Structure 1
Amino acid sequence: MTKFNDTILKAFRGEETDYTPVWYMRQAGRSQKEYRELKKKYSLFEITHQPELCAYVTRLPVEMYNVDAAVLYKDIMSPLPAIGVDVDIKSGIGPVIDNPIVSLRDIEKLGTIDPESDVPYVLDTIRLLTKEQLNVPLIGFSGAPFTIASYMIEGGPSKNYHKTKALMYSDREAWFALMDKLADMTITYVKAQVNAGAQAIQIFDSWVGTLNVTDYRTYIKPVMNRIFSELRDTNVPLIIFGVGASHLITEWNDLPVDVIGLDWRMSVKEARELDVTRALQGNLDPAFLLADWEVVEEKAKQIIDEGKAHPSHIFNLGHGVTPEISPDRLKKLTTFIHEYSKR
């Protein structure tokens, strides 16, 4: 194995780096032909239950694109069956839950997670990757309580989150009970990932941007503060990311996180002008990768230049890799980022 590349860990921690490190959300799978062949035989959950296979899918983009980190192949729904949630990932739809939450009674029925017995395959995959297969850091992750709760209450993906908001507004006791249950699950699950070898953690609050700042402060920020505060003793970099959540960036800057992930709606420069002090990650719109290369290069230069104007920038997309994006394009982009950003 070649020398371990810890560049991205330095950037996560706010240290100077020789170049801008890069990884891509959803880099494992989606657009890779090797992954598509596997998906003809196995579902997402079936892949994640086979550590050797899951490690291969996780490792593949590192080898193909030369990115500076691997991100564990799994879904934010992965720990939910352990606490009693019947969830399935349906092609073309996403997570579907047959027993949605409607009341405090449903929440009180939820169990707790014991990662070593409930999701041993996740931890075994991490051990395989970090002990034998990777020369870059492995990023583990978990969904945040609001985003997980939205699936549990809506029964699947939603465009408006009306049922979720209705429970939040109308039954504070039930809402905060659910937040506490999911916070406990997240903390336990993340600590197990770190103990198994994950070297950074991203918390996906993918859909929390649907809330305004006042509601975020009231219903979400306290639980996020607890999660990140209790994860500080893991001594690994902690990243927060959401989509359409630019209005919450300064709220996130108050949390005990190391890195804030930006989607494409707010530039690195704009975030810094709001006095955001954390390391920033992002934020090329994935749609750019379907445009002519000259367009991609121009936008990538802008993002890199803005990132280099302040300490600590990690290049990423503003959301995940989509199936239409060519692996060759991702490899070319990675090479460009490394070469252009070298000091």
Structure 2
Amino acid sequence: MSLPQLKNDVFLRSLLREPVPYTPIWLMRQAGRYLPEYNATRAQAGSFMQLAQNPEFACEVTLQPLRRFDLDAAILFSDILTVPHAMGLGLDFVAGEGPRFARPVRNEADVMALQAPDMSKLQYVFDAVSLIRKELDGKVPLIGFAGSPWTIACYMVEGQGSDDYRLVKSMMYQRPDLMHRMLEINAQTTCEYLNNQIRAGAQAVMLFDSWGGVLSDSLFQEFSLAYTRKVVDGLIREHDGKRVPVIVFTKGGGMWLEDIAGCGADAMGVDWTVNLSRARTRIGDKLALQGNLDPMTMFGGEEAIRREARRVIDDFGPVGQGGHVFNFGHGISRFTDPEAVGILVDEVHSYSRRHHSV
């Protein structure tokens, strides 16, 4: 399939620390429940799973925020739990409760029965990627993504979200051999999954380690980062003659910046507890940084949104040589007013052009 030339590559250039005219911005969960058009499309689909598994619906909701806002990247609409669902764990989204697995992985027999899934079970994701690339018509790059092996394992064992991670940590401490087996399978699967997204048209990929921050020091390196590195090591880094940047993000990972910076990725996402200036000092500009506005800033009114956007940009410093992608420090709240997002995008673009470009 012949694809049009990319019209706005500022996001990709900044990830690769190349000169840019302004700070690019996209938002985690930018296609989601805060948009009325998303809620209408989800209602039309009938359920979250029917929305995510239908390439036409997935394409539509991916494009919705780009029609409203001058964002610098699109991100595939999907879910990190499509991978364990393809392994046969039976994913469903319960109203008011979030994702649940019908068959969680709780004992040795469960772990030994795990296998990397046939990628044909995830073809709907790759079809969505190809369709989105076509419909974007070169407007902005498309980001593919997956959950980290550790974060996926947490959901697989807990069976749903968790407040204390008791079940997965019990397995980790009691039977580290089982945990390592599960993580190895997850890493292999995740690498293949992301590579298929790249072949289908994703121009950058992101690995979400949403639960890495719940681990203690040394255990983070052993059970999370080591498997993130395995995924990154196996990824396609050039496709159709273009570099494919890789972003890794560990929520709550501020104490391990130096370790994460050594995993081989091109960029590292950081949450709002991290000062970007000090982060740059710590990692020595080895890779680009993404982040890191607190999503709750969006409830503070226009003055607060503009002030905090400027603060994040100032914390990073001059952006003319690239290296910073503006984002939240985690996903946007479903209760966010879309008008607030428009204010944020305007401030990031206008302020970075006036004060920090070369």
Give the TM-score, by structure 2 length.
0.91
Determine the structure 2 residue equivalent to 1:54. 58
Contact 1:250 1:276 in 2 (8 A): no
Does residue 262 (structure 1) correspond to residue 258 (structure 2)? The answer is: no
Aligned to 1:171: 175
Query: Which amino acid in the other structure matches residue 201 of structure 1?
Result: V
Q: Structure 1 stretches of 5 or more lacking a match?
A: none
1:245 equivalent in structure 2: 253
Equivalences, count: 342
**Matched residue type, 1:129:** I
Contact map agreement 1:167 1:174 (CA 8 A) in 2: yes
2:226 matched residue in structure 1? 222
Aligned equivalents of 1:233, 1:298: Cα separation in 2? 37
> Does the CA contact (< 8 Å) of 2:288 and 2:324 recur in 1?
yes
Give the drift of 1:63. Answer: 1.6
Aligned residue identity for 1:249:
L
- The amino acid across from 1:305 in the alignment is D
Aligned pair in 2 of structure 1 residues 221, 244: CA closer, same or farther (>3 Å)?
A: closer
Rounded Cα–Cα distance in structure 1 between residues aligned with 2:107 and 2:344: 47
Partners of 1:177 and 1:276 lie apart in 2 by 34
Deviation at 1:113, TM superposition (A): 2.4
Could you report, residue by residue, the CA deviation over 1:10-54 in whole angstroms, capped at 9, with x for unpaired residues? 011111110000000000022111111223332221112221221
1:197 matched residue in structure 2: 201
> Residues of 2 paired with 1:276 and 1:87: CA distance?
41
What CA distance in whole angstroms lies between the structure 1 residues aligned with 2:24 and 2:225?
A: 29
Give the Cα–Cα distance (whole angstroms) in 1 for the partners of residues 94 and 65 of structure 2. Answer: 24
8 Å CA contact 2:73–2:143 kept in 1: the answer is yes
Structure 1 residues 55 and 304, CA gap change in structure 2 (3 angstroms) = same
Question: Which letter does structure 2 place at the counterpart of 1:230?
Answer: G
Alignment of 1:24-43 (within 5 A): 24-41=27-44, 42-43=46-47
Which residue of structure 1 lines up, in the alignment, with residue 79 of structure 2?
75
Q: CA deviation at 1:153?
A: 0.7
Which stretch has the larger CA shift, 39-48 or 71-80? Answer: 39-48
How far 1:222 moved relative to its partner? 2.1
Equivalent-residue separation in structure 2 for 1:229 and 1:111 (angstroms): 21
Matched, 1:157 2:161: yes
Structure 2: segments with no counterpart, 5+ residues: none
Residues 286 and 36 of structure 1, relative CA distance in 2, 3 Å threshold: same
Quick check: 1:316 aligned with 2:313?
no
- What amino acid maps onto 1:292 in structure 2? G
The answer to whether residue 342 in structure 2 is matched with residue 331 in structure 1 is: yes
What secondary structure does 1:24 align onto?
coil
Q: Answer whether contact 1:87 1:97 (CA < 8 A) is retained.
A: yes
* Distance in 2 separating the partners of 1:292 and 1:224: 37
Root-mean-square deviation (CA, aligned residues, Å) is 1.6
Which deviations, in whole Å up to 9, do the C-alpha atoms of 1:269-319 show, x marking residues without a partner? Answer: 121232353200001101000112111111110111222346410000111
Q: Percent identity?
A: 34
Q: Using the TM superposition, give the Cα deviation of residue 244 of structure 1 relative to its aligned residue in structure 2, in angstroms.
A: 1.8
